[in-house]
Structure 1
Amino acid sequence: MHALRVLTIATLSFATAALAGCGDDEPRNENKSCSVQAQTGCESGQVCEEVEGAEPACFAPVSFKGIVTNALDDKPIQGARIVARDANDAAVSPVAISAADGTYTLAVPARRDSAGKPVAAKLTLRADASGYQTFPLAPRIALPIDVDTAAGSPPVVQTAATDIALVPLPNASGLGSIAGTVVADAGLDLVPAGALVIAGGSTGIVDFKGNFVVFNVPANASVDVQAYAAGLQITPKTVAVEAGKQTENVELRISSAATADVSGKLSIVNGNGNSVTSVVLALEDTFVENAARGEVPKGLRVGNVTGDFVFNDVPDGKYVVLAAFENDGLVRDPDTSIGGTQIVHIEVAGQNITLAEGFKVTGSLATVSPGKDAIEEVTGTPTFVWADDSSEDMYELRVFDAFGVLVWEDLAVPSVSGSKDVTVQYGGEALTPGMIYQFRATSMKDGVPISQTEDLRGVFVAR
């Protein structure tokens, strides 16, 4: 069941910048001042937490406990790095390292109410390990873990949501890793926690203390190490990477605040009653062209978009602009014969950018099964079901694995009538047990695509 439980976690904003957190029903050392930022002033085994309407106080920390396993064989993974993030993908915890049996314990921040109880908030987890694909990575999404559900003394959250299954890379030979820190130049009060570090196409996350590790970097005498987060201009560095070894003590410096704006507009046509969407900037070096997805750095998302949008404080770099990427009943119009439907690539170099052409967004084909709202387990030969598009004359169906590799397609699915659901049985080679897959359906009219299922739905795990 671990592969299913991987998709635990999504996000809600969490205001505290605490190092760890949550605890007993009653605060400790109330009369003694403590520092949330520096984590000083508390007895051993306690942490300083923010308190609603009062000064910070000391508590027993809240922890997430779980296990990290191989999605294909359910075996434990040792040495995985797990970090908690808030709604803006900022890291709010130190890193937990999974033990030989795959288990981990991660202290997380927990703002308290006046009675000392954790305030409701949701955090997400990110996990990285040598030889494994990062979690979460589209189309696998992270679902929320509720901090205020912690129980016991000290308080712990340990549910299916805290177990993580990682998909092994097809070939992990010839790979090394890079470890280092991100620090700000003198006089700059800028925090790097949550920045996305990329090297050789692989990524890592900067934790609450400014540390990072990027696993699975192809060995090369010259590898560029770069970090991205809204508001931060981080100077890249070039290092050598050897297979099977870790390049240590790589220091990336925040040289200034990023100030560039990227603006544009979109129009929602035939949105099936949906009139609000989001736009993201994905790093071009992480973009998978055939699956149209990539990793989005901290802060490079604009929500509640109905027309005009603007990204503020975008750091220098190459990005892919993705509209309606998240689940909201809308998709980027797939009809490439009209304007506003192309995937847009941009390069920011300190300048403001206004996109020349607006995006056209339309209502999506409704996914029925598998993976309507969350990842589903599928045994044997799966059957794909989606709602009919009354305007179509046929459909195209594609199935991708977790790495964005096309594993099967049927480009001539006949239309249906009477507003029935469309049902197609998988006809490719046997699926790999434990592997994550996604199906995508596209409705066609006179040889032109007119709508499709959403970018992050239709996800399933084979059994």
Structure 2
Amino acid sequence: MKNLLHVAVLSLFLMGCGDDDLYKTSIPILEEGVLGVQILDTDGVEVDGARISIFDDNNVFVTSAFTDSIGERSFELQEGVYTIKVAAQGYIPSPVQGGIAIPVQINGGEATDRSIPLTFDPNAANTTYIQGNANIRGNLVVISDDANAYSTFTDSNGNYYLYNIPAGSNYKLTSYHTGYETDLLDVSLSVDTPILDKNINARQSSALPELTGSVTFLATKNGTVDITVTLPETGDVIPGAVTYTSGTYTMNDLPKGQFKVWATYNNDGYVMDPDWIAKNGGEDSALGLVVNSSNLTKNFSVTGAVELVSPTNSLDEVTPKVISTTTPTFEWKAYSSAQDYAVEVTDIDGNLVWGGVEWSGDEAAPIATPKHGSIGSVTSIKYNFDNNPETPSLEDGQLYKWSVTAINTGNTAISTSENQVGIIKVELPQ
């Protein structure tokens, strides 16, 4: 990524400043920062026309744009935490469908660069794309068949673009947004004939149901957490379906569909209690939500998160912690009642790199076992300490995320670390 963005932001500070202003100790902090994104293929060639979508720290769509002829695009964003998703015809999306993108911190008056690689899709010759208009900005558009679902969000003009869809004749196309109703459309896709004008009639409605509920804080002090409704097939947040609560909550005008409701995605010191999820029939039962025409209730139990020590970004920002080794030692604080821990490392696309939890037993009472083997009550282990021959080495210049799951004597997962901590970047000495 070129450094022109940094020069541009610095110019904002210097414009309008007299000579004496350069020596003042008080520099105004801008509310907006600049995010520069460059998209390259695996050969290092710039990807022209890739669609970059930006999401906030609740995974809510913010904005989108296409890369230029040198594979770049910049965004002016309010100070905060964001994630980046990229899609282009002929390439595997980043992150992969259902994957978790590593967050990026935007600071007011500063420029931040991200270079994101795209891998050629080996099945590209058997895929096509569909685009059209869905009436409103930020509308979640989904095309699905019995096996797969593909999603995107509309831009400021209500336009949508869905790439790399396998040819088929049994697709359903629809959209989701609070306050709006949309019909299911039948769609047939052919490799030879991309669909360029399939419009979706999202209609505003005042007769949609509401969701109410409460949050119980287990073995921890009360606080404020976010409540978010998502589409389980893709992991996308339903636009408008996010709220915050320290006890009870109400969410109005939900669209019809089958969803999942999550609590406390943000770095707030809390996570959903894994044991509560297990005792309520597993994730599908505890978090599942079918919206028709009736009002609904969904309650949650949350608990304190496992606290990471090193290496990790801080709780209040997601700037990656730079490490100078490919075999880092992970350290965290002991968690009450934990008798074992499972450490997991994922890459920038959310793909598992090492460790994690092996789940067994039935859904109502799942058994959690560390994939890297039991480590007991120790609170520090080295990457790939189990010498798994299938574990890849961490790569210089790459971003990763690590997390911890706490497990009790009954092999029940009782807590995890926060969603947006444990972000690291490998930078080896030159």
TM-score for the superposition, normalised by structure 1:
0.67
Q: 2:240 aligns with which of 299, 311, 320?
A: 299
In the TM superposition, residue 415 of structure 1 has moved relative to its aligned partner by 0.8
1:323 and 1:98, CA in 2 relative to 1: closer, same or farther beyond 3 A?
A: same
Q: 2:288 aligns with which of 306, 322, 345?
A: 345
Q: 2:176 aligns with which of 228, 236, 247?
A: 228
1:426 and 1:90, CA in 2 relative to 1: closer, same or farther beyond 3 A?
A: closer
In the TM superposition, residue 73 of structure 1 has moved relative to its aligned partner by 6.0
In the TM superposition, residue 325 of structure 1 has moved relative to its aligned partner by 2.0
Task: Say if 2:127 is the partner of 1:181.
Answer: no
Matched position secondary structure for 1:249: coil
Matched position secondary structure for 1:365: coil
In the TM superposition, residue 217 of structure 1 has moved relative to its aligned partner by 2.2
Alignment of 1:368-387 (within 5 A): 368-373=309-314, 374=318, 375-377=320-322, 379-387=325-333
- Contact residue 332 and residue 341 of structure 1 kept, 8 A: no
How many residue pairs get aligned? The number is 361
Q: 2:270 aligns with which of 319, 325, 330?
A: 330
- Contact residue 329 and residue 380 of structure 2 kept, 8 A: no
In structure 1, runs of 5+ residues without a counterpart are: 6-23, 26-61, 110-119, 150-156, 184-191, 287-293
Write out per-residue CA displacement over residues 123-181 of structure 1, whole angstroms, 9 at most, x where no aligned residue.
967553221434696352353364xx4xxxxxxx8x224x4525537755333221110
Alignment of 1:388-399 (within 5 A): 388-399=334-345
- Contact residue 240 and residue 247 of structure 1 kept, 8 A: no
Q: 1:133 aligns with which of 88, 93, 105?
A: 93
- Structure 2 CA distance for aligned equivalents of residues 63 and 392 of structure 1: 41
In the TM superposition, residue 414 of structure 1 has moved relative to its aligned partner by 2.1
1:279 and 1:341, CA in 2 relative to 1: closer, same or farther beyond 3 A?
A: farther
- Contact residue 269 and residue 305 of structure 2 kept, 8 A: yes
- Contact residue 270 and residue 418 of structure 2 kept, 8 A: yes
Alignment of 1:62-73 (within 5 A): 66-70=36-40
- Contact residue 182 and residue 210 of structure 1 kept, 8 A: yes
Equivalent residue for 1:115?
none
- Contact residue 443 and residue 451 of structure 1 kept, 8 A: yes
- Structure 2 CA distance for aligned equivalents of residues 220 and 247 of structure 1: 13
Task: Say if 2:428 is the partner of 1:439.
Answer: no
Task: Say if 2:63 is the partner of 1:98.
Answer: no
1:206 partner letter: T
Matched position secondary structure for 2:250: strand
- Contact residue 326 and residue 426 of structure 2 kept, 8 A: yes
In structure 2, runs of 5+ residues without a counterpart are: 6-14, 17-31, 356-371
Write out per-residue CA displacement over residues 333-355 of structure 1, whole angstroms, 9 at most, x where no aligned residue.
11255459744111212322113
In the TM superposition, residue 89 of structure 1 has moved relative to its aligned partner by 7.7
- Structure 1 CA distance for aligned equivalents of residues 192 and 326 of structure 2: 37
In the TM superposition, residue 83 of structure 1 has moved relative to its aligned partner by 5.5
In the TM superposition, residue 99 of structure 1 has moved relative to its aligned partner by 2.1
1:70 and 1:268, CA in 2 relative to 1: closer, same or farther beyond 3 A?
A: farther
Matched position secondary structure for 1:415: coil
Write out per-residue CA displacement over residues 207-254 of structure 1, whole angstroms, 9 at most, x where no aligned residue.
111111122323322322222122121223232233486321010001
- Contact residue 82 and residue 103 of structure 2 kept, 8 A: no
In the TM superposition, residue 309 of structure 1 has moved relative to its aligned partner by 1.8
- Structure 2 CA distance for aligned equivalents of residues 456 and 72 of structure 1: 27
Q: 2:142 aligns with which of 186, 198, 213?
A: 198
Deviates more, 1:82-91 or 1:220-229: 82-91
- Contact residue 102 and residue 401 of structure 2 kept, 8 A: no
Write out per-residue CA displacement over residues 68-119 of structure 1, whole angstroms, 9 at most, x where no aligned residue.
22386654221112456789988776x532123112356x69xxxxxxxxxx
- Structure 2 CA distance for aligned equivalents of residues 72 and 266 of structure 1: 45
1:337 and 1:91, CA in 2 relative to 1: closer, same or farther beyond 3 A?
A: closer
In the TM superposition, residue 321 of structure 1 has moved relative to its aligned partner by 1.2
- Structure 1 CA distance for aligned equivalents of residues 241 and 104 of structure 2: 17
